[in-house]
Chains A and B, each alone.
Chain A
Amino acid sequence: SAVISQKPSRDICQRGTSLTIQCQVDSQVTMMFWYRQQPGQSLTLIATANQGSEATYESGFVIDKFPISRPNLTFSTLTVSNMSPEDSSIYLCSVGTYQRGYNEQFFGPGTRLTVL
């Protein structure tokens, strides 16, 4: 299994500012993903973080709002830009492996963001 850590674990931010969330994995993985979980809701995939190239965003998410970096196979960042109270959510990174022949994803503990 993969062990994933995220920083910060939580933050309270003012509207109009930006926050960068870090995701660190204890082993090299091909696939990394970023999800958003709004209060009381399920998880929504934001994007796939691609190593060495631009992230692949899902419908409704754009690079200007959620820029993602993936400089190597163990690390990725998600920035939430120009924040508004609607961005208050838990942001989770996950990694996907096919080591056991199927798509198994491991999730980080999440970053709880509150925007005032």
Chain B
Amino acid sequence: DAKTTQPPSMDCAEGRAANLPCNHSTISGNEYVYWYRQIHSQGPQYIIHGLKNNETNEMASLIITEDRKSSTLILPHATLRDTAVYYCIASNDYKLSFGAGTTVTVRA
């Protein structure tokens, strides 16, 4: 799996969009970008994934740059329940390598 780099922490205001960056400059052509999050004391939860195109689901949007060297996870309207550690993972097989992630704190 390609190495990913994320900021260690970020704050955002409740109700505002949260934009979480991830660098994966060595990503290979067949590696997907996955995002998971881990709310305190729970197992990680899948959020979204993408290969080349931007993706949106009921939880978030994923914007991948054209050169695929970076991506941004967007939580459109952050709530207090979105406070968690967010992991960006680049992978082309069944194994997921979790980095340190970004600790996101949503403040009222």
Q: How large is the interface on A (under 10, 10 to 19, 20 to 34, 35 or more residues)?
A: 20 to 34
A72 to B44, CA, bound (A): 24
Nearest CB to that of B44 among chain A residues?
Answer: A107
- Across the interface, B43 reaches (CB within 8 A) one of A44, A45, A94, A104, namely A94
Asked if residues A106 and B100 are in contact (CB atoms below 8 Å), the reply is no
Q: Is A103 an interface residue, CB under 8 A from the partner?
A: yes
| B32 with A107: CB separation less than 8 A | no
Most chain A beta-carbon contacts within 10 A, residue among B44, B98, B99, B100: B44
B87 proximity list for chain A (CB < 8 A): 42
If the complex has contacts A48-B95, A102-B32, are A108 and B43 also in contact, measured as CB distance less than 8 A?
yes
* 0/1 interface trace, chain B 12-45, chain A, CB 8 Å (1 if under): 0000000000000000000010101000011111
Residue ID in chain A nearest B99 by CB atoms: A42
Interface of B (DSSP majority class): loop
Is there contact, CB below 8 Å, between B49 and A42? no
- Contact residues of A: prevailing secondary structure: strand
* B96 touches A (CB below 8 Å): yes
| A-B residue pairs in contact (CB < 8 Å), sample of 30 | A31-B94, A33-B95, A35-B98, A42-B87, A42-B98, A42-B99, A43-B98, A48-B94, A48-B95, A92-B43, A92-B44, A94-B43, A94-B44, A96-B94, A103-B32, A103-B34, A103-B93, A103-B96, A104-B46, A104-B49, A105-B44, A105-B46, A105-B96, A107-B44, A107-B45, A108-B43, A109-B42, A110-B41, A110-B42, A110-B43
Is B53 at the interface (CB under 8 A from chain A)? no
Across the interface, which residues of B come within 8 angstroms of A103, CB to CB? 32, 34, 49, 91, 93-94, 96
